[in-house]
Amino acid sequence: MKAELKDISAQGWLCETCKAPLEVLPADILYMGSSFTVDLPRCPKCGYTFIPPELAEGKMREVEQILEDK
Ligand SMILES: [Zn+2]
């Protein structure tokens, strides 16, 4: 399942370890018992996936809406 989350951008994000610019790549997440593929900023060097605070705190509502819509 592919979830499209708006307002997720890798622009300006740097990996704290590598200081490399993050790239927005599909990432598998598990939420409320369902797995989703969402585009999240990820470090191309170490593979660290950055969860934006907006996603952790509020944007998951969009995922919940997607769940409810199916
Ligand atoms: Zn890194």
In tens, the pLDDT along 1-53 reads 566 666 666 567 889 899 999 988 888 877 778 887 888 888 989 988 887 77
Task: Tell me which CATH code domain 2-69 carries.
Answer: 3.10.20
> pLDDT at position 51, please?
77
Per-residue CA distances from 65 to 44, 60, 68 (Å): 30, 9, 5
State the pTM of this model.
Answer: 0.58
Residues 6+ apart with CB under 8 A from 12: none
**Distance from Cα 4 to the centre of ligand 1, integer Å:** 24
Using an 8 Å Cβ cutoff, are 10 and 22 in contact? yes
User: The dihedral of CA 45, 50, 32, 63: what is its sign?
Assistant: negative
Domain boundaries, the chain: 2-69
**Distance from Cα 10 to the centre of ligand 1, integer Å:** 13
42 alpha carbon, distance to own chain's centre: 8
